[in-house]
Structure 1
Amino acid sequence: MAYVPGVALLAALVVGCSAGADSNVNGVDSKAGSPTVTPAPPGKYLTLPAPCRAVPRSTLKDLLPGAAELPGDQQEKVFRGTAAVTYDTDRKVGCSWKADAPDATRSLSIDFERVVSYDPTVSDDDRADTVYAKKEKAAGLSSSATTGPDAEKNAGTPGEKSKGGADKSKGSGDGESEDAAGDASASADPSSTASPSKDPGAGGTGSSGSGSPEDTLPSRILDNLGDAAFLQDQPNRAGSTAQHRTVSVVFRTSNVVVTVRYAEQPALVTQVSDSRELQEKAQALARKLAETISE
């Protein structure tokens, strides 16, 4: 066996360590062509509000006028609401309420979805914007500028935008889950998919009390609500004998997408729901929820 002097052995060890250190300076692989990936920033929100406690009782009394006339125990049950079935309360929660009055039945539901991107190159906000854009397209609407990683794919043509359709789930990995009650379809009634227009003012100037078609504001993109928002007004489907109207307000704030649905079923088929009143109250609630999330 060859003998290596101590000084020579020590020098060899020093040279070997130096070579190894140079190949991974500052934790960067020295191999040619190795890209450096900077993770996209996380979303602003890490949790969601308790949905059945997100709407104040005073607001529920206004939205569900029949509930105030019920006996104490029944009234409590109505105001308590019914939580939506969900298997991940950190990602999606919801609640619904319903009350009968002599002249009509009104129902309310709210859904919160916290979108998480599992792609390190796509931020939670961008993924949430994609989820929101699909809901907007399903409602037959389109904002002037759509952002997010799938903006080009979601743009579509004017003909495609008018068809609508439900937002199908693609798994919890990308946050694109289907709405519990289904996204409002543009094919429900031609009057529900009028040409998009900007919100003339958050809520207007009070109920008109007529509910006639000429007083109905169209489905439209909304201003000054979260990062993006739209309203869809759906009268009952053609051929239905019962009058029914559902107003949906959907908005995104950072990586959370919120859906508010407010509906009325008049007691008599000859009665028509007041579209302006339903729209104003749905918008007012959506703005309160946006403030609640931001607190």
Structure 2
Amino acid sequence: MAYVTGTALLAAFVVGCSADTGTGGSAADSKSGTETVAAAAPGKYRTLPEPCRAVESSTLKDLLPGAAELTEDQQRKVYEGTATVTYDTDRRVGCRWKSEDSSSSHSLFIDFERVVSYDPAVSDDDRAREVYTKKETAAGLSSPSATPDATESAESTGGGEDKGEKKQTPPADSGEASGDTSGDASESTSHALAGPTPEGKSSDDENTDDGAGTPDENLQPRILDDLGDSAFLDDLLTRAGSTAQHRTVKVVFRTSNVIVTVEYTEQPAVSTAVPDSKELQEKAQALARKLVDEFTE
């Protein structure tokens, strides 16, 4: 009859337990070896500047000439600006200024939007690039640096329009108005640099390189190559009925995960006058360059 000692039984039990433990360890190793997607890098900027303090007083005096005719207290109120309504100042802030004089009124609007991606596989910068591309496409412009996915996303949301049918739109992802440029149904907005002047000429005659009536292509809506990571300029002439018209120059740029919008508007008191595109564009771009410096410091 076979006889097994207690020592032998104990050894067999230990061997069996060791074998089970090894099997369990392999299963755990198998699970830990499952491929995981690394979280995308967060955006460079975690906060936003205070918008109503982002523009120097000397710049405001240049952009809002009508304020010079006001009393000191009235000037202070104009230059303080009015903050736009926002529900998260870490995500979006803005400010508006406006002044009037006997010949015209000027208004300025700036908007800072910090884009955050809630998809761990998509970085804040990539998401900001998509949001910016939608704005660029809505203006009827396209950037060579735009990614195919971003362009496709913009087109799928109805952002892509033919250059002859561009529309004025408020900033993306916001229900807030984009400034004093939005009007009622009676308004007609054009991106063309045309309009009547007191002498009966078109504004195309004003915006020329050689004075021969050839439109200056340098003043047309366009991509800006030397402002932030991506940028564009739009020029809109809006007519409200037959008596009033105003021109708004919009500069939009992206730096990392922040998108900045500058809108500068002039409305002459005389209905037949047309605001000068060149002057408005130069001033709007100069301000945009000062703002981008705030983010790069």
1:162-207: CA deviation from partner (whole Å, max 9, x where unpaired): 43446689xxxxxx5136324989x8215169xxxxxxxxxxxxxx
How many residue pairs align between the two structures?
266
Structure 2 residue 137 is matched with structure 1 residue 133? no
Deviation (angstroms), 1:18: 4.0
2:28 maps to what in 1? Answer: 24
Deviation (angstroms), 1:215: 3.8
The 5 A counterparts of 1:161-200 are 162-165=164-167, 177-178=173-174, 180-182=176-178, 188-189=189-190, 191=192
Larger radius of gyration: 2
Structure 2 residue 188 is matched with structure 1 residue 214? no
1:213-245: CA deviation from partner (whole Å, max 9, x where unpaired): 234311111110011111111112374421311
1:207 maps to what in 2? Answer: none
1:38-85: CA deviation from partner (whole Å, max 9, x where unpaired): 222111111111100100111101111111221121111111110010
TM-score (norm 2): 0.78
- The CA RMSD over aligned residues, in Å, is 3.1
Cα distance, 1:21–1:139 mapped onto 2, change above 3 Å: same
Contact 2:234/2:251 (CA < 8 Å) preserved in 1? Answer: yes
The 5 A counterparts of 1:138-153 are 138-147=138-147, 149-153=149-153
| Higher deviation after alignment, 101-110 or 12-21 | 12-21
Distance 1:167 1:265 in 2: 19
Q: How many percent of aligned residue pairs carry the same amino acid?
A: 55
Task: Extract unaligned runs of 5+ from structure 1.
Answer: 170-175, 194-209
The one-letter amino acid paired with 1:213 is D
Task: Extract unaligned runs of 5+ from structure 2.
Answer: 1-5, 183-187, 195-200, 208-218
TM-score (norm 1): 0.79
Distance 2:97 2:61 in 1: 11
Cα distance, 1:168–1:54 mapped onto 2, change above 3 Å: closer
2:121 maps to what in 1? Answer: 121
Contact 2:92/2:114 (CA < 8 Å) preserved in 1? Answer: yes
Please, which of 229, 232, 235 is the counterpart of residue 230 of structure 1?
A: 232
Cα distance, 1:238–1:50 mapped onto 2, change above 3 Å: closer
2:248 maps to what in 1? Answer: 246
Cα distance, 1:112–1:190 mapped onto 2, change above 3 Å: closer
The one-letter amino acid paired with 2:152 is E
